Amino acid sequence: MEKRKLGQNGLEVSALGLGCMGLSFAYGQPTDKQDAIQLMRTAFEKGVNFFDTAEAYGPFTNEEVVGEALAPFRDEVVIATKFGFKAGYPAQGLDSHPENIRAVTEASLKRLKVEVIDLLYQHRVDPNVPIEEVAGTVKDLIQEGKVKYFGLSEAGPEAIRAAHSVQPVSALQSEYSMWWREPEQEILPLLEELGIGFVPFSPLGRGFLTGKIDANTTFDADDFRNKLPRFSEENRKANQNLVDLLAQLAAEKNASPAQIALAWLLHQKTWIVPIPGTTKLPRLNENIGAAALSLGAADLAEINAAVEAIEIQGARYSAQMQQMVNK
């Protein structure tokens, strides 16, 4: 798989990464540990070297299984993790005070079984801690050899500029896909200006763009999509036209809807690295296949015109969750 550069400080990763959150958190029952390990190792064997986790995924359990899975080829992979919540629990609120950043870093190093964290993100901007102070703390950790690169997640333009002025930001991780294109308005132009890479999470619309979810789909009781307005039965039905469009485009390209959605993202900028997550080996192989799918200028123009004609229904987050983004 081709490699892409994130930022201007030397971070280079596979064009597609693997979002590991869903193996332990948010989408129903955790994946069996050995199955999760097999999936991550298979991803590596097929060219993926960029793996995304966080202390909050579990909490803590995701980092542990990621560390165990990747231990045999530690020097050949890039592991990203995150700090920013009280005690690792999003429900308890934000905490990016320097002492917490340091404590989380030390704990993550142990759970991941590594001597240095490749990419350390602030999970969400904390309005109670100046972003310059956060960036300064990570800068110190980089100088101490505990972290290699600094990242932000779901940060707004003001926070990105301020943080980058203290410690160069290598990557911003935020949601971006065919059904959430807000980053195109301000974020992508800013990242291009500053030389920061972009890591879209939920590049398949939390599974919706795969075509495997419709208005009749029932999620596990503890699947957090039950709480997202965009995943109400009414909105899933209303948004089916986007999935139908993807299916039509996929048939023309002898591909799957998921592959079209991922290839579209990869063709937006050379410094975009999506991190689709999955718990199933067939889906992993399908996603990886998107990296080899070529879309020409005419293809992209056709896709963009068709997507822009569709109005997506439903907010992506609940009002409470939305308060934590784009600070």
DSSP letters along 229-296, please?
GGGSHHHHHHTHHHHHHHHHHHHHHTS-HHHHHHHHHHTT-TTB------S-HHHHHHHHHGGG----
Return d(Cα 142, Cα 136) in angstroms, integer: 10
The bridge status of strand 147-153 relative to strand 117-122 is parallel
Q: Which of 326, 193, 327, 207 is nearest to 271 (CA)?
A: 193
Residue 70 is assigned to a structural domain of this protein: yes
pLDDT of res. 73? 97
pLDDT tens-digit series, residues 88-133: 999 999 999 999 999 999 999 999 999 999 999 999 999 999 999 9
The bridge status of strand 169-175 relative to strand 18-19 is unpaired
Give kind and range of the element (H or E) at residue 194: helix 187-194
The catalytically annotated residue of 27, 57, 121, 176 is 57
Residue 201 is assigned to a structural domain of this protein: yes
Residue 91 is assigned to a structural domain of this protein: yes
pLDDT of res. 85? 97
pLDDT of res. 229? 87
pLDDT of res. 9? 95
Q: Which of 58, 74, 52, 22 is nearest to 171 (CA)?
A: 52
Q: What is the pTM of this model?
A: 0.95
pLDDT of res. 321? 73
Residue 62 has pLDDT above 80, yes or no: yes
Residue 173 is assigned to a structural domain of this protein: yes
Return d(Cα 310, Cα 323) in angstroms, integer: 26
The CATH number assigned to the domain holding 280 equals: 3.20.20.100
Residue 222 pLDDT grade (very low, low, confident, very high; cuts 50, 70, 90): confident
Residue 29 pLDDT grade (very low, low, confident, very high; cuts 50, 70, 90): confident
pLDDT of res. 26? 77
Q: Rounded to a whole number, what is the distance in angstroms from the first to the last CA of the chain?
A: 34
Q: Is 57 among the residues known to form the active site?
A: yes
Residue 261 is assigned to a structural domain of this protein: yes
Residue 85 is assigned to a structural domain of this protein: yes
* Mean model confidence pLDDT for the chain: 94
pLDDT tens-digit series, residues 287-306: 999 999 999 999 999 889 98
Q: Which domain holds residue 8?
A: 3-322
Residue 327 is assigned to a structural domain of this protein: no
pLDDT of res. 327? 60
At 15, is the secondary structure helix, strand, or coil? coil
Residue 183 pLDDT grade (very low, low, confident, very high; cuts 50, 70, 90): very high
- Number of structural domains (the chain) is 1
The percent of residues in the chain predicted with pLDDT above 70, rounded, is 99
Residue 326 pLDDT grade (very low, low, confident, very high; cuts 50, 70, 90): low
